[in-house]
Chains A and B, each alone.
Chain A
Amino acid sequence: MSTWIIALLSIAYLGILFFLASWAEKKKNHKKSLINNPFIYALSLAIYCSAWTFYGSVGQVSTNGISFLTVYLGPTLVMILAWGFVRKMIRISKIHHITNIADFISTRFGKDNRLGQIITLISVIAGIPYIGLQLKAISQSFDLITQNNPGDQFYQDPSFLLFIAITLFILTLGPRKFNSSEKHEGMIFAIGIESIIKILAFLAVGIYITYTIHSGWDEIIQKAHLAIPSIQVQGGYGNWFIQLVICGVSFLFLPRVFHVAVVEINEEENLKQASWIFPLYMLLINLFVIPLGFAGYAYLQPSGLNPDLYVLGLPLYFSSKALAAIVYIGGFSAATGMVIMETIAISSMISNNLFMPLLLHRKAFVEQNQENLGSIIHNLRRLFIVAIMVMAYAHYRINEDFVNLVSIGMTSFLIVAQFAPATIIGLYWKNATRAGALAGILIGFSICCALLLLPGVGISVDAFRIAGFNPITNAGYWSLSFNIFAFLSVSILTKQSAKEANQAYLFVDVFAYTQSVENTTLWRGKAKLKDLKNALAGFMGKMKAEANLKQFASLHQISLQETYADPRIVNNTEKMLAGFVGSTSARLIISAISKEENIGVSEVVDLLQKSRDLQQSNYDLRKLDAQKNEFLTTVTHEIRSPITSIRSLSEIMVDHEDISPEERKKFLDTIIQEADRLSRLVNQVLDLEKLDAGKEKFRIEPVLLEAIIEKATQNFVAIAQQNQVSLTVDLSQKRTQRKVLGDFEKLVQVVINIVSNAIKNVEPGSGKIDIRLKENATHICLEIEDNGIGIDPKFHDQIFEKFKQVDNPNRKIESSGLGLSISKKIIEHLHGIIQVQSALGQGALFLIKLPIE
Chain B
Amino acid sequence: MRILIADDEPAILMSLDFLMRKEGHQVYVARDGEEAIQLIEKELPEVIILDIMMPKIDGYGVCQQAKALSPTYQPKIVFISAKIADSDIERGYQAGADLYVPKPFSNRDLLKKVNELNLQSKN
B11's contact among A645, A655, A656, by CB below 8 Å, is which? A645
**Which residue of chain B has the shortest Cβ distance to A805 in the bound complex?**
B53
Complex interface residues of chain B between 1 and 43 (CB less than 8 A to chain A): 8-9, 11-12, 14-16, 18-19, 22, 33
A810 x B55 contact (CB < 8 A):
yes
Distance, CA A806 to CA B81, complexed state (A): 13
A812 x B8 contact (CB < 8 A):
yes
Most chain B CB atoms below 10 A, which of A638, A644, A663, A806: A644
* Given A667-B14, A673-B11, A810-B56: A652 and B104 interface contact (C-beta under 8 Å): no
What's the least CB distance linking A229 to chain B, in Å?
83
A651 x B106 contact (CB < 8 A):
yes
* Given A637-B82, A643-B104: A648 and B55 interface contact (C-beta under 8 Å): no
Could you give, for residues 628-639 of chain A, a 1 whenever the CB lies within 8 Å of some chain B CB and a 0 otherwise?
A: 000000000110
* Residue A666 at the chain B interface, CB threshold 8 Å: yes
In the bound complex, residues from chain A placing their C-beta under 8 Å from that of B104 are 640, 643-644, 647-648
**Which residue of chain A has the shortest Cβ distance to B18 in the bound complex?**
A652
* Given A640-B82, A651-B107, A651-B108: A645 and B55 interface contact (C-beta under 8 Å): no
* Residue A641 at the chain B interface, CB threshold 8 Å: yes
**Which residue of chain A has the shortest Cβ distance to B9 in the bound complex?**
A641
In the bound complex, residues from chain B placing their C-beta under 8 Å from that of A638 are 82
Distance, CA A750 to CA B84, complexed state (A): 32
B107's contact among A637, A652, A663, by CB below 8 Å, is which? A652
**Which residue of chain B has the shortest Cβ distance to A642 in the bound complex?**
B11
Interface of A is mostly: helix
Tally A residues with Cβ within 8 Å of B. 26
A809 x B55 contact (CB < 8 A):
yes
Using C-beta atoms within 8 Å of the partner chain, give the interface range for chain B.
20 to 34
* Residue A367 at the chain B interface, CB threshold 8 Å: no
Could you give, for residues 641-672 of chain A, a 1 whenever the CB lies within 8 Å of some chain B CB and a 0 otherwise?
A: 11111011101100110000001001100100
B56 x A645 contact (CB < 8 A):
no
* Given A637-B83, A644-B103: A649 and B11 interface contact (C-beta under 8 Å): yes
B106 x A670 contact (CB < 8 A):
no
Distance, CA A467 to CA B16, complexed state (A): 101
In the bound complex, residues from chain A placing their C-beta under 8 Å from that of B103 are 640-641, 643-644
B15 x A667 contact (CB < 8 A):
yes
In the bound complex, residues from chain B placing their C-beta under 8 Å from that of A811 are 8, 53, 55
A645 x B12 contact (CB < 8 A):
yes
Distance, CA A663 to CA B19, complexed state (A): 12
Could you give, for residues 664-694 of chain A, a 1 whenever the CB lies within 8 Å of some chain B CB and a 0 otherwise?
A: 0011001001100000000000000000000
In the bound complex, residues from chain A placing their C-beta under 8 Å from that of B108 are 651, 655
What's the least CB distance linking A719 to chain B, in Å?
15
Closest 3 CB pairs of A and B: A645-B11, A640-B82, A644-B104
- Beyond known contacts A643-B104, A663-B18: 16 more, CB 8 A cutoff: A641-B12, A642-B11, A644-B12, A644-B103, A644-B105, A645-B12, A647-B104, A648-B16, A648-B105, A648-B107, A655-B107, A655-B108, A809-B53, A809-B56, A809-B58, A811-B8
9 A-B residue pairs with CB within 8 Å = A640-B82, A641-B103, A645-B12, A645-B15, A648-B104, A651-B108, A670-B11, A810-B56, A812-B8
Residues of B within 8 A of A (CB): 8-9, 11-12, 14-16, 18-19, 22, 33, 53-58, 82-84, 103-108
